[in-house]
Amino acid sequence: MPLPEEYTLYLKANLTALERFAALFSGLDERLDYTNMLLTKILEAQGGGTTPPPPSGSGFPLNRETFVTGQVTIATADTAQQLTTSSIAIPDGFWLTIVSAPANTGYVKIGNSKGDAEGGQTFNGLDAGLAVALRVKNVNSLWVTSTVAADVVSFIVER
């Protein structure tokens, strides 16, 4: 049984659009190949055949071997605790990620000191399951609290 004519026309019209779309990506693919070829030739002319790692101090942080994690359970609502009492230095170019545990029922507050976290100088937008990444020098420089006791705040940082 043949397809109805209007369906056949519809398929032909859309096939033409798909063909134009595919041709667009084919052209893009060719331009990317050409760009890669030029970059490879430039690297070879400079004496290297592969992309070298960025030099230290180039503004690009290098990959790290390990990471450190930790967590603190808020003992008393609205009473700040240090994220960790241990000194954990954070290398330049890396982030400290702080996570409010998914099971939390309160809002996590973050400050630069105990007074900041308990008072008005706080970041208090971290609801359950949300995270924030900060560029700070040391994990122990942050203080956290929650509007509900027994909420958990976790952190992770590369070393």
Count helices and strands in the chain by DSSP H and E runs: 2, 8
Q: Which fold has domain 67-158?
A: Jelly Rolls (2.60.120)
CA distances from 87 to 90, 122, 137, 146 (A): 10, 22, 10, 23
pLDDT in tens, 96-105: 999 999 999 9
Which residues partner with 144 through β-bridges?
Answer: 81, 110
Query: In this predicted model, which residue has the larger pLDDT, 71 or 37?
Result: 71
pLDDT score at 99: 94
For residues 135 and 80, give the distance between their C-alpha atoms in angstroms, rounded to a whole number: 20
Query: In this predicted model, which residue has the larger pLDDT, 89 or 20?
Result: 89
Could you tell me the residue ranges of all domains in the chain? 1-52, 67-158
pLDDT score at 20: 65
User: 77 and 96 in contact (C-beta within 8 Å)?
Assistant: no
